[in-house]
Structure 1
Amino acid sequence: MASERLLTSWSEYETAVGQLLPTAENAIAIFDRDLASLRLEKPGHHQALADFLRRAPNVRLRIAVQSAQAIRTHSPRLMQLLQTFAHRFQLVEVPPHLARLSDSMLLIDDASAVVRFHHDHPRSKEILADADACSPYGKRFEDIWAEGGTPISATTLGL
C-alpha cells in the first residue's frame, strides 16, 4: 500500500531508515553528505546491508557521498562490506562542484525512499511502495551518479 509521511525528528528518521533497509530486494541507492546521520555502522543497519548484499548476485548498492573521510576512518563495518562485496557495492565521493547540494536520500528498489530535505535537519519524507513518488528522487540520484567522482576502495594499493 503506497504511502507518504513527514518525519520531523531524528528518532523518526532513524526508525524509518531502520525499517526501510531490510525491505530492499534489488537496489539501494544513497546520496548523503557523509553517511553520519544514516548510522550505517549501527548493528541493525549494517546487518540489513550485509543480508541485502548476500541475497542474490544481481543486487546493487550504490552510495554517493560529498565527503568520504569519515567513512574511511570511522566506518570499519561499511568498509568491510565494500571489500567483501566490491562487485555489488560501489561507493563514490562526488566531485567538489556538488558540495552545495544539501539534501540526502535513501532509495530502495525505485519504489520506497527516505528523503531528508537538508543534511543538517531531521525533517524528511518517507515514501513507501510508490514508484511514481520516488521517480523524481531516482532521477536526481542518477544525475548525481552520472557526475562521476572518486571511487572509494576498501583495499590499500601500494608497492
Structure 2
Amino acid sequence: MATWTTIEPPPPSRVVELDTIAAQAAAIDELIAIARHHIRVFDQDLSQTGWNTAARADRLAAFLREFRGRSLDIIVHDTRYLEAACPRMMSLLRNYGHAMTIYRTGAEARIATDPLMIVDGMHYLHRFHFEQPRAALGVSQPQQTQPLASRFEEIWVTGEPGVTGTVLGL
C-alpha cells in the first residue's frame, strides 16, 4: 500500500473581478477545493456567502481531515449569526476544534469593512466592502496575496475568543 501523496501543480494564475454574492460563494468553494494547508477568513458574520450550506460544510470537513496540520482560522465582527443560525459550522468546530478557530475581532479591528479569504498564502478572495457585492478572486497570485495576508494578520492579532465547539452548562 503506497503512502505517497502526489503533489499537484498549482492552478493556473488568474485574477477575476466578481460582482455578485453568488459569484463570491462559488469562488469560496473553488478556493476551498484548491486549499492544501491553511484557510483564513475575515467577514462581518459569515451570513451572506453560504457558510452554513451542507455542501460547504462537507468541503471544509474534507479539507480538515485529509492531512494533519491543516487549519481553518475565521475571525468575524459578530458571532451571533454563527451561534444562532450555523449549526453546520458549529458542528465543524466541535469535530475539528484542534484545527479550526473562530475569533471575534477586537476593538482595533472593528472598523475593517473588507471581507477576506486567504488560502495557503497564494490565493485570495477580497470583497472590497461588505455592503457592496464587488470582489476580486486571485488564484496562484502570491505577490498580490501577501498584502491581503498581512491585513488578515493585523485583524487576527486583535482577536478575542469568539465561538467554541464545546457546550458549557451546569
Which 10-residue stretch deviates more, 95-104 or 113-122? 95-104
- List gaps (5 residues or longer) in structure 2: 1-11
Partners in 2 of 1:122 and 1:112 — Cα distance?
19
The answer as to 2:164 corresponding to 1:125 is no
- Is the Cα contact below 8 Å between 1:63 and 1:90 reproduced in 2? yes
- Deviation of the 1:65 alpha carbon: 0.3
Summarize the alignment of residues 131-146 of structure 1 with structure 2, pairs less than 5 Å apart: 131-146=142-157
Moved more, 106-115 or 12-21: 12-21
Q: 1:60 aligns with which of 71, 84, 109?
A: 71
Larger Rg: 2
**Whole-Å separation in 1 of the counterparts to 2:18 and 2:159:** 31
C-alpha RMSD of the superposition: 1.2
CA-CA distance at 1:38 after TM superposition: 2.4
Partner in structure 2 of residue 45 of structure 1: 56
Separation in 2 of the partners of 1:150 and 1:96?
Answer: 13
Q: How many equivalent residue pairs?
A: 159
Identity %: 26
Cα pair 1:66 1:96 within 8 Å, conserved: no
Question: Which position in structure 1 is the counterpart of 2:26?
Answer: 15
Assess if the C-alpha contact under 8 Å between 2:22 and 2:49 holds in 1.
Answer: no
Q: Which residue of 1 aligns with 2:4?
A: none
Q: Tell me the TM-score normalised to structure 2 length.
A: 0.89
Q: Distance in 1 between matches of 2:93 and 2:20?
A: 30
Distance 1:117 1:82 in 2: 28
